Amino acid sequence: MLHLYAITYILDVMARIFGFKTKEEPKGLDLADDYSDNGGLEEICGLSNLYSPEQDSAVHIRDIADVLLDMGKINQGHLSEIRRLQEQTNRDVLKIITEKGFAKEPDVSIARANLYNLEFREIEPDKIDKEAFGKLDPEYIKNNRIIPIGFKEEKLVVATSHPGDLFVIEDVKRQTNMDVETVVCIDEAIDQICKTLCEDKADYNLDDIISDMTDVEIMQDVDDISEDLEKMAGQSPIIKFVNYLISNAVREGVSDIHIEPKEKSMKTRYRIDGVLFETMQSPLKMHPAIVSRIKIMANLDISERRLPQDGKIKVSVGGRAIDLRVSTLPTNHGEKVVIRVLDSKSILRGLEQLGMEKDIEEIFHEQVQMPHGIMLVTGPTGSGKSTTLYSALAQMDGNKLNISTVEDPVEYELEFCNQVQANEKIGLDFAAALRSLLRQDPDVIMIGEIRDNETARIAVQAALTGHLVLSTLHTNDAPSSITRLVDIGIDSYLIAASLNAVLAQRLVRKICPKCKEIYQVSEHIKKYVEKAGITQDQLFHGVGCDQCRGSGYVGRAGIYELLIVNELFRDMINKDSSINNMRHAFYESGSRSMYEDGLIKVKQGFTTIEEVLRVTQVYGTTENEDFAENYSSK
């Protein structure tokens, strides 16, 4: 109470000094007696009237909901619901609008532009000034949702999906040292343009790069030139050339890059869909610096040019993380380099995308769901065995199962399993890793390859003790896998008890859909067509176009043969596991061979008869021709 008296007294003095006139206080004020000795009730009343602010009323600030209402994109009922949710949840009005679906793009962005009195603009990759785009780092653009799109007089024009973020706009001015004009765009357009233009950044003019390197001279008579090579490997044309090779390979779907020194030039070839294509020939003087640049990227010894070396590189191409496996090999004209391109997007596929016919896909899916036993995938190098195994693992529940792999090397990193890198230099070979994995309470084990007796023996023991084992083997067909295990040193009765199934596969190139047409096969091939019962209207091939690089093929699919080890097979394995006996049992079981599976894809118009014969090697020897004739007429 004393504090109140003091405050009112001070205010009264101020009123007297500045000449304010007080009003009479209404009767009945309880404080009159307490303040009678300080000038009476009238003075208090005067002060209360002197300082009597009005009660604040809620001020509504125009927002995007009001703009959408004015545009006719939402109605009054929508607006009332938005205000109710806004009051109840205290959430951002824009989130309420988008989550409830009251309005969609581009109306939301147009309304946002109107709210800030800015222009809305639809932006497309081919309308973006690349010089302007280069003013900001792509990662900065993605993180801050603002993208330079061009120039207007002395200003940099930027498009943003967050026009209210003034701090970012000011930061762009600071980074570019330019005045900025802002327009509004939809959010998705920023990501699409970044993806397109980041890829286009790698489109170097190869002729300009090579011409820039004409001054590079190699002192061939000097034994140790590692310092010179390291310096040249850091020169801009060298870096551009290597970046071009890698980024172009990723866009073209290349699996391997071959850099080969010849007597007078350096040849560069890409392996696409299993076939090598020569992409360019470059001056031989470029070769040592190119190889050194790749070695530096792979953390290899650039001074060692007499021994093979292996390494890995991690790169980002168009926002995609790509792993590169590098191998160098000394040749008579210099070091040959092969770069394996490992793209996780190309390896993780569903079983339905591998090219399996429906019946084989269903049986294979059942086999990888078995609680124990061995499932083998067999075929030569580059036949897609790893893709099939990874796809099989992806069908499993990684949250409920302990899935572990032993690989050499680990080419693709998988989130749903534990991967072990074999390293024979330190004693961690397949067998040692498997022994350790069996103490890790595994449910499913994938072995990169069964190469020797010890690995095979541990795999069999794991299968017999309640684990599902998936692995690869190098054999020509499914029946010969059993004989191969016997040759490794596994007893027939153990194979019969542990082996569930064997899937053999090859990859055939698919006909290019752009230049696909009916054609007449040659006389040499006609006998296979007639025996298979393929009619003329079922025979297609690709003429060759820009899309398929003149080859007539784009992409690949698998052809398969699946051997299920049933009771009949188990008896046959125990009695006689020779190749001829296993093949005879396989044919008698009624299963399709890879050749016959390929003929189905020829009839469906997916591939050509020549392609099936190429990968199955049915023609070329009398024995194989007899096999094709006997089996296809079965």
Residue 256 has pLDDT above 90, yes or no: yes
Residue 360 β-bridge partners: none
Q: What does the mean pLDDT of the chain come to? A: 80
Residue 378 has pLDDT above 90, yes or no: yes
Reduce the DSSP state of residue 32 to 3 states and report it.
Answer: coil
Residue 400 to residue 447: CA distance in whole angstroms: 20
Q: How far is CA 347 from the centre of its chain?
A: 9
Lowest mean pLDDT segment, chosen from 222-236, 289-303, 596-610 = 222-236
User: Is the Cβ–Cβ distance between 293 and 233 less than 8 Å?
Assistant: yes
Residue 132 to residue 123: CA distance in whole angstroms: 14
Residues 153-163, mean pLDDT to the nearest whole number:
89
Residue 521 to residue 227: CA distance in whole angstroms: 58
* Percentage of the chain exceeding pLDDT 70: 80
549: confidence class by pLDDT, cuts 50, 70, 90: confident
Q: What is the pLDDT of residue 37?
A: 46
Residue 166 has pLDDT above 80, yes or no: yes
List, edge to edge, every strand of the sheet that includes 468-473: 418-421, 403-407, 444-447, 468-473, 373-378, 499-511, 553-564
58: confidence class by pLDDT, cuts 50, 70, 90: low
Question: pLDDT higher for 562 or 88?
Answer: 562
482: confidence class by pLDDT, cuts 50, 70, 90: very high
Residue 611 has pLDDT above 80, yes or no: yes
Residue 97 to residue 65: CA distance in whole angstroms: 8
**Tokens, residue 275:** 């076939």
Residue 172 to residue 550: CA distance in whole angstroms: 46
User: Is the Cβ–Cβ distance between 214 and 191 less than 8 Å?
Assistant: no
Q: What is the pLDDT of residue 412?
A: 77
Residues 605-614, mean pLDDT to the nearest whole number:
91
List for the chain the helix, strand, coil content (%; round to 5): 45, 20, 35
Residue 440 to residue 420: CA distance in whole angstroms: 12
Residue 344 to residue 322: CA distance in whole angstroms: 8
Q: What's the sign of the alpha-carbon dihedral 382, 388, 389, 393?
A: positive
Q: What is the pLDDT of residue 208?
A: 58
Residue 271 to residue 269: CA distance in whole angstroms: 7
Residue 373 has pLDDT above 90, yes or no: yes
Lowest mean pLDDT segment, chosen from 49-63, 121-135, 204-218, 224-238 = 204-218
Q: What is the pLDDT of residue 346?
A: 64
Residues 243-264, mean pLDDT to the nearest whole number:
88
Q: What is the pLDDT of residue 430?
A: 84
Name the nearest CA neighbour of 266 among 245, 240, 236.
245
Lowest mean pLDDT segment, chosen from 4-18, 92-106, 193-207, 469-483 = 4-18
628: confidence class by pLDDT, cuts 50, 70, 90: very low
**Tokens, residue 243:** 């970046």
Task: Give 470's contacts (C-beta < 8 A, 6+ positions apart).
Answer: 368, 374, 375, 376, 377, 389, 392, 393, 444, 445, 446, 447
Residue 622 to residue 231: CA distance in whole angstroms: 58
Q: Residue 223 phi/psi, 5° resolution?
A: -70, -50
Task: Give 327's contacts (C-beta < 8 A, 6+ positions apart).
Answer: 308, 309, 310, 337, 338, 339, 340
Give the number of other Cβ atoms within 10 Å of residue 32's Cβ: 15
Q: What is the pLDDT of residue 223?
A: 41
234: confidence class by pLDDT, cuts 50, 70, 90: low
Residues 428-453, mean pLDDT to the nearest whole number:
89
Q: What is the pLDDT of residue 109?
A: 87
What would you measure as the largest C-alpha separation in the chain, in angstroms? 132
Q: What is the pLDDT of residue 622?
A: 36
Residue 469 has pLDDT above 90, yes or no: yes
**Model pTM?**
0.61
Residues 417-422, mean pLDDT to the nearest whole number:
88
Reduce the DSSP state of residue 380 to 3 states and report it.
Answer: coil
Rg of the chain taking only CA atoms, in angstroms = 37
Task: Give 153's contacts (C-beta < 8 A, 6+ positions apart).
Answer: none
Q: What is the pLDDT of residue 75?
A: 87
Q: How far is CA 445 from the centre of its chain?
A: 25
For the chain, give me the number of helices (H) and strands (E)? Answer: 27, 19
**Tokens, residue 588:** 């008698």
* Percentage of the chain exceeding pLDDT 90: 25
DSSP 84-120: HHHHHH---HHHHHHHHTSS-TTHHHHHHHHHTT-EE
Residues 498-527, mean pLDDT to the nearest whole number:
90
Write the CA distances from 324 to 94, 246, 257, 340, integer angstroms: 43, 9, 10, 6
Residue 170 has pLDDT above 50, yes or no: yes
